[in-house]
């Protein structure tokens, strides 16, 4: 196990790690405040594309966590970067929330509603997903459009449990079209890891990934050469660790222990 203090930056999940149901989780605000005071960079990374980086930063500030838009990386932002680099000028059929449609349009990405006009289909979290959207995406993919998605999560945590997420939409399209999604940019992909490391200007061995999910947060680390800390404030039960293929480097009850992992003295030492 790496010595405490071996990391100079942190990739931190949001929902289930920093907050849940709109309220900060135990120890989170204090721990992140200590990290900020010690100039330890924290990049908040979320697979949830329903808010922009600016909107997430504003939400964090209302909870008492200092954050600017550049401190947040979302799967929506990464898929926009991919489209601009790999499919510039393409007409995109987006299955996603209105906020993501607005982000796409704000970056000059051409959006279409008809599958016959689409060069790329982007699947994302969409609480208004219905048969017509499914049919238009089906038509586009059957005609050869590229198949991209923001995140693989099967479910998304909400106040009273979980709701279906982008993973279900990906599966619906894969089954009906008969082909696999080509690119999924969110955690645990190498694309998300590289984007985060680029933002932090750090090497993988210098960065600790912190989150509450084994299949996205911890897997982001194990697949991409980063150490990980699993917090037990979200969807993972301790018994899940017995059979999990991706094992965290550390297990924390909550974020309160994070500063000590990066070598910060206890608050009483100040």
**First-to-final CA distance of the chain:** 27
Tell me how far the alpha carbon of residue 243 is from its chain's centroid: 24
Q: Is 15 annotated as a binding residue?
A: yes
| Tokens matching residue 228 | 């990980």
Q: Is 99 annotated as a binding residue?
A: no
CA-CA distances (angstroms) from residue 130 to 96, 97, 135, 169, 172? 11, 12, 9, 10, 11
Q: Is 212 annotated as a binding residue?
A: yes
Q: Is 151 annotated as a binding residue?
A: no
Catalytic residues: 13, 15
Task: Using CA atoms of 94, 95, 100, 101 in order, give the dihedral in degrees to the nearest 10.
Answer: 50
* Residue 198: strand, helix, or coil: helix
Pick from 8, 60, 54: nearest CA to 33? 60
Q: Is 254 annotated as a binding residue?
A: no
Q: Mark the binding-site residues for Mg(2+), compressed into ranges.
A: 13, 15, 212
Q: Mark the binding-site residues for substrate, compressed into ranges.
A: 46-48, 187
Q: Mark the binding-site residues, compressed into ranges.
A: 13, 15, 46-48, 187, 212
């Amino acid at each position: 196990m790496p010595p405490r203090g071996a990391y100079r930056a942190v990739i931190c999940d949001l929902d289930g790690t920093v907050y849940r149901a709109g309220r900060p989780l135990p120890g989170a605000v204090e721990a992140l405040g200590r990290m900020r005071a010690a100039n330890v960079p924290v990049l908040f990374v979320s697979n949830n594309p329903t808010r922009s980086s600016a909107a997430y930063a504003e939400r964090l500030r209302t909870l008492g966590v200092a954050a600017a838009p550049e401190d947040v990386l979302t799967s929506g932002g990464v898929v926009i970067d991919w489209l601009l680099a790999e499919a510039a000028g393409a007409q995109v059929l987006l299955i996603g929330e209105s906020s993501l449609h607005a982000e796409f349009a704000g970056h000059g990405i051409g959006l279409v509603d008809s599958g016959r006009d689409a060069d790329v289909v982007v699947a994302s979290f969409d609480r208004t997903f219905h048969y017509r959207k499914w049919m238009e995406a089906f038509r586009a993919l059957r005609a050869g459009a590229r198949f991209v998605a923001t995140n693989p999560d099967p479910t998304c945590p909400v106040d009273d449990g979980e709701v279906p997420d982008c993973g279900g939409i990906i599966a619906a399209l894969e089954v009906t079209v008969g082909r696999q999604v080509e690119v999924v940019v969110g955690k645990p992909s190498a694309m998300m890891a590289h984007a985060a490391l680029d933002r932090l200007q750090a090497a993988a061995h210098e960065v600790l990934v912190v989150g509450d999910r084994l299949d996205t947060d911890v897997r982001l680390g194990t697949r991409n050469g980063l150490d990980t800390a699993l917090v037990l404030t979200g969807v993972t039960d301790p018994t899940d660790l017995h059979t999990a293929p991706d094992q965290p480097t550390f297990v924390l009850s909550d974020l309160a222990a994070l500063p000590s992992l990066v070598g910060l003295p206890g608050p009483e030492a100040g």
